[in-house]
């Protein structure tokens, strides 16, 4: 489950804020060489979460044997990003770290990661959106291995057809409630603090945006959309789906119960990601996956697209070996497939996706649902969004005035962006 917590990211954004970019202006088009890596010798330390650690270990051992070095894959169960930044500052961090692409702005700001050197033919083997996600300030900072985005997961026994609009979804959901076949119209998590990640497809369909983009396509922290007329109009439409309106969006649907309410057959529709599928299968739900529908007459709903990636630590003790591992080993399809098997999400490497999609039709459907998605902003300013935006969303779902609430949130966010 993807749960956004503003606190960790916001605190990290403050750490060493003036430390500058951890990279350099070196040409990053040339790949690392085995000669430079092997000469370093010694030990390579990799940090990952629990799920990825087990999948990585056999590949790390093979890499170590090939290069005549010791490789340790260490599991960091909690606060991996926080612990990595702290360890980096203290000189006790790993050589390679595995994590989400939206860490990049913070990690670069804190001088914690180096650009990754991939050849042009290596880059071309990856999904273009995934490469865009790990590119920051014009430099590639990670090797992507998996992608994720939200979609509409539908109980096909209750709702055989995919809704074309959110209004069509609500109408079907209300009919199912009236017939006592469901107790909720839609399972889209909010809770008392809201959830910017999950509401984002509807926010974009109604015309809202978080950050504008510059001429190079990068997000511009100076162009904040929250509090602008577009965001007010978007939340006026979202409010109509809330507790004082249609009742499709409710604060009682939380990160903890959204999937369980769906698998308990209490609602026909769930807005979630690939992480929800295992529970749906376990509950023997007949389901299908389609894009999150937008508002009638509105824009196409755009979910965030997130990427998981490998990073080279700027202050690691064996940087040449780390570059070799990340640039020339994590780009192999067999490693990407192993990581997919550990936690099924669409591989970013095209060759790996081709290997697994035949046996997992859900992958193609999630990919289709995310093809119009927006890369989750990795800029440090994004840390200021999560908490105020989410709380404004929850208040509006509960009946608060959309214009006043989102305008106030915009002022709060603007004050936090340095």
Give the domain ranges of the chain. Answer: 6-148+305-375, 151-302+379-416
User: What pLDDT, on a 0 to 100 scale, did the predictor assign at position 41?
Assistant: 53
User: What pLDDT, on a 0 to 100 scale, did the predictor assign at position 217?
Assistant: 81
User: H-type helices in 247-349, by residue range?
Assistant: 258-263, 277-282, 319-328, 333-342
Q: Which residues contact 252 (CB under 8 A, 6 or more apart)?
A: none
On whether the CB atoms of residues 262 and 158 are closer than 8 A, the answer is no
Torsion of CA 130, 280, 239, 303, to 10 degrees: 10
Pick the CATH number of 151-302+379-416 from 3.40.50.2000, 3.30.565.10, 3.40.190.10, 3.30.470.10: 3.40.190.10
Residue position matching structure tokens 């074309």: 164
Q: Under DSSP, is residue 108 helix (H, G, I), strand (E, B) or coil?
A: helix
Q: Under DSSP, is residue 183 helix (H, G, I), strand (E, B) or coil?
A: coil
pTM score: 0.83
Axis crossing angle, helix 196-205 with helix 386-397, rounded to the nearest 10? 70
User: What pLDDT, on a 0 to 100 scale, did the predictor assign at position 171?
Assistant: 98
On whether the CB atoms of residues 278 and 360 are closer than 8 A, the answer is no
CA distance 61 to 38: 15
Asked if domains 6-148+305-375 and 151-302+379-416 share a fold, the reply is yes
- Paired tokens of 292: 């999150």
Q: Write phi, then psi, for 284 (nearest 5 degrees).
A: 60, 40
User: What pLDDT, on a 0 to 100 scale, did the predictor assign at position 34?
Assistant: 45
Q: Would you tell me how many other CB atoms lie within 10 Å of the CB of residue 99?
A: 22
Residue position matching structure tokens 């990919």: 367
CA distance 331 to 179: 52
On whether the CB atoms of residues 231 and 410 are closer than 8 A, the answer is yes
User: What pLDDT, on a 0 to 100 scale, did the predictor assign at position 214?
Assistant: 87
Taking Cα atoms as reference points, which of 22, 35, 44, 31 lies closest to residue 317?
A: 44
User: What pLDDT, on a 0 to 100 scale, did the predictor assign at position 16?
Assistant: 34
Paired with 375 in beta bridges are 305
CA distance 36 to 379: 32
Taking Cα atoms as reference points, which of 305, 276, 306, 308 lies closest to residue 289?
A: 276
pLDDT in tens, the chain (418 residues): 454 433 333 333 333 333 333 333 333 344 444 444 444 458 999 999 988 999 999 999 999 999 999 999 999 988 999 999 999 999 999 999 999 999 999 999 999 999 999 999 999 999 999 999 999 988 999 999 999 999 999 999 999 999 999 999 999 999 999 999 999 999 999 999 999 999 999 999 999 999 999 888 889 999 999 999 999 999 999 999 999 999 999 999 999 999 999 999 999 999 999 999 999 999 999 999 999 999 999 999 999 999 999 999 999 999 999 999 999 999 999 999 999 998 889 999 999 999 998 899 899 899 899 988 999 999 999 989 999 999 999 999 999 999 999 999 999 999 999 7
Q: How far is CA 362 from CA 152, 164, 300, in A?
A: 12, 19, 21
Domain 6-148+305-375 has CATH 3.40.190.10: yes
């Amino acid at each position: 489950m993807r749960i956004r917590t503003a606190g960790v990211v916001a605190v990290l954004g403050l750490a060493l804020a003036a430390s500058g970019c951890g990279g350099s202006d070196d040409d990053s088009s040339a790949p690392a060489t085995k000669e430079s890596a092997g000469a370093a010798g010694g030990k390579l330390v990799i940090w990952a979460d629990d799920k990825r650690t087990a999948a990585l270990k056999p590949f790390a051992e093979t890499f170590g044997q090939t290069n005549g070095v010791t490789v340790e894959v260490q599991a960091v169960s909690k606060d991996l990003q926080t612990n990595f930044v702290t360890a980096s500052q203290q000189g006790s961090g790993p050589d390679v770290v595995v994590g989400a692409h939206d860490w990049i702005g913070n990690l670069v700001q804190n001088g914690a990661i180096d650009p990754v050197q991939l050849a042009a033919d290596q880059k071309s083997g990856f999904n273009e959106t995934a490469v865009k996600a790990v590119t920051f300030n014009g430099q590639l900072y990670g090797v992507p291995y998996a992608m994720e985005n939200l979609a509409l997961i539908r109980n096909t026994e209750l709702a055989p057809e995919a809704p074309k609009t959110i209004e069509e979804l609500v109408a079907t959901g209300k009919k199912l409630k009236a017939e006592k076949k469901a107790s909720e119209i839609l399972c889209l998590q909010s809770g008392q603090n809201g959830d910017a990640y999950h509401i984002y497809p509807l926010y974009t369909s109604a015309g809202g945006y978080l950050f504008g983009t510059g001429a190079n396509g990068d997000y511009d922290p100076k162009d904040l959309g929250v509090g602008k007329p577009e965001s007010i109009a978007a939340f006026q439409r979202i409010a109509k789906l809330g507790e004082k309106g249609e009742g499709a969006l409710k604060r009682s649907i939380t990160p903890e119960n959204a999937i369980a309410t769906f698998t308990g057959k209490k609602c026909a529709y769930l807005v979630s990601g690939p992480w929800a599928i295992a529970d749906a299968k376990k509950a023997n739900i007949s389901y299908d996956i389609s894009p999150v529908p937008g508002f009638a007459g509105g824009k196409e709903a755009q979910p965030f697209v997130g990427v998981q990636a490998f990073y080279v630590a700027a202050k690691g003790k064996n940087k040449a070996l780390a570059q070799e591992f990340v640039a020339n080993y994590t780009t192999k399809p067999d490693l990407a497939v192993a990581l997919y098997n550990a936690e099924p999400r669409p591989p970013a490497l095209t060759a790996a996706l081709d290997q697994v999609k035949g046996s997992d039709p859900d992958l193609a459907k999630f990919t289709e649902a995310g093809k119009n998605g927006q890369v989750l902003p990795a800029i440090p300013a994004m840390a200021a969004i999560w908490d105020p935006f989410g709380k404004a969303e929850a208040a509006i779902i509960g009946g608060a005035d959309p214009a006043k609430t989102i305008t106030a949130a915009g002022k709060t966010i603007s004050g936090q962006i340095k």
